[in-house]
Amino acid sequence: EDQVTQSPEALRLQEGESSSLNCSYTVSGLRGLFWYRQDPGKGPEFLFTLYSAGEEKEKERLKATLTKKESFLHITAPKPEDSATYLCAVGDILTGGGNKLTFGTGTQLKVEL
């Protein structure tokens, strides 16, 4: 059974204080590692997909990396608007076709002035 564990559960940073969020996973056959951002009262918003170990992707202050066992979301010089819950999910192909995402419970990030 696919499992995804995210750490820390919550993180409080000062504006400009860089840090990393961790996502460790066990999966029989990885079909993508997905990062999402979720704001209160909203649905998950897609950020990145990583498909193979060594792959990296960047978007503004965010950079996602992938190894065979875990993924990191690095946040460089964060701003208050980066405050959100960040979700990690692993993709798998269902027996009948189609996609299944197995989600972690998320890291709640708060960036303060």
Partner 1 sequence: NAGVTQTPKFQVLKTGQSMTLQCAQDMNHEYMSWYRQDPGMGLRLIHYSVGAGITDQGEVPNGYNVSRSTTEDFPLRLLSAAPSQTSVYFCASSDREGQPQHFGDGTRLSIL
Binding residue for partner 1, selected from 28, 68, 81, 94, defined by CB under 8 A: 94
Binding residue for partner 1, selected from 72, 101, 108, 110, defined by CB under 8 A: 101
> Which amino acid does the sequence have at 85?
T
Q: How many residues make contact with partner 1 (CB under 8 A)?
A: 30
**How many whole angstroms separate alpha carbon 7 and alpha carbon 19?**
12
Binding residue for partner 1, selected from 18, 20, 52, 105, defined by CB under 8 A: 105
**How many whole angstroms separate alpha carbon 17 and alpha carbon 108?**
16
Distance of CA 77 to the CA centre of its chain: 18
Chain positions contacting partner 1, by CB under 8 A:
4, 31-32, 34, 36, 41-46, 49, 51, 87, 89, 91, 93-106
